[in-house]
Amino acid sequence: MTQDMTAKPSPKELAEAVDLRLNRARSWLHKSRKAGSSVPPDLDAQFIFLWIAFNALYGNRRRRDRDNAPTPHVGRTISEISDFTRFLEAIELVSDGKTASLLSRPPIAVQADKVLDNPFLDLDCWERWEAEGIRDRQQRLTVPRKSYGGRSRTVPVFRQIYTLRNQLLHGAASDAGRRNRESLKHAIPILDAVVDMLIPLVDRNRAHIPGLYPVPFPPSTGDSIPFNSLRLRKKES
């Protein structure tokens, strides 16, 4: 039986999908903290595991026709940003802006400022540098940038962090490379705090957050392979 991507889920289907998302997110959050507690901390692994935990909460399966677009990488990037933007906006609506509040309070506010101020995490800067052939670091730093002013910082911060995610996951950085150490040191506390906050928020507001169903790549069910969310709940208890 196939999943209808457009049909409204039954309460049981929604519960299974959300439980699976939460279990996936918790498992990767736990793994990221193990990477962070190593000596020395593995910042690359810690960040990647945190993004996977975040992705487990908001992610949606990409349609094949979108991947076959003339410029599929552009389509996927825009769609991915749209996915987590919609998710974060829905979270802000049901929680009276808890993510924005978290990003505005010490000590996370300092990290958020650093992430927003970093031109090397700004996709618009990279597009302009590439279009104008700018390679010199000091010249790159002088290129004018957008100002977010009094707008909510939630989505802009995550767009910047998404650039760091792309640099690491798509091989545009070296393992333990020195150029992105500072970016990682600022982004990791943000992701850790936000994901830790999002998990109970999604759990409590599951009926009011669109896009949680269907879950990407749902596990098989059957007599010999129980549904993962139920199995993991038993394991956690």
**Which tokens belong to 16?**
């299974």
**Which tokens belong to 43?**
């910042």
Q: What is the pLDDT of residues 66-80, one digit of tens each?
A: 444 444 444 455 688
CA proximity to 83, closest of 155, 32, 172: 155
CA proximity to 184, closest of 115, 124, 119: 115
What's the pTM value of the predicted model, to 2 decimals? 0.84
Q: What is the pLDDT of residues 198-218, one digit of tens each?
A: 999 999 999 999 999 999 998
Q: How buried is 31 (Cβ within 10 angstroms: 0-12 exposed, 13-18 middle, 19+ buried)?
A: middle
Q: How buried is 77 (Cβ within 10 angstroms: 0-12 exposed, 13-18 middle, 19+ buried)?
A: middle
Q: What is the pLDDT of residues 93-141, one digit of tens each?
A: 999 999 999 999 999 999 999 999 999 999 889 899 999 999 999 989 8
The angle formed by the CA atoms of residues 181, 126 and 168, to the nearest 5 degrees, is 40
Tell me, what DSSP letter sits at residue 178? G
* Average pLDDT over all residues of the chain: 86
d(CA 158, CA 217): 24
Q: How many CB atoms lie within 10 A of CB 145?
A: 14
Q: What is the pLDDT of residues 19-28, one digit of tens each?
A: 999 999 999 9
Q: With the C-alpha atoms ordered 151, 155, 160, 163, is the resulting torsion angle positive or negative?
A: negative
**Which tokens belong to 132?**
């104008």
- pLDDT-derived band at 4, boundaries 50, 70, 90: low
Beta-strand ranges (E) seen in 74-195 are none
What pLDDT sits at residue 176? Answer: 77
d(CA 72, CA 78): 10
What are the C-alpha distances in Å from 72 to residues 24, 68, 216? 27, 6, 19
> Does the structure show a pLDDT above 50 at 1?
no
- pLDDT-derived band at 157, boundaries 50, 70, 90: very high
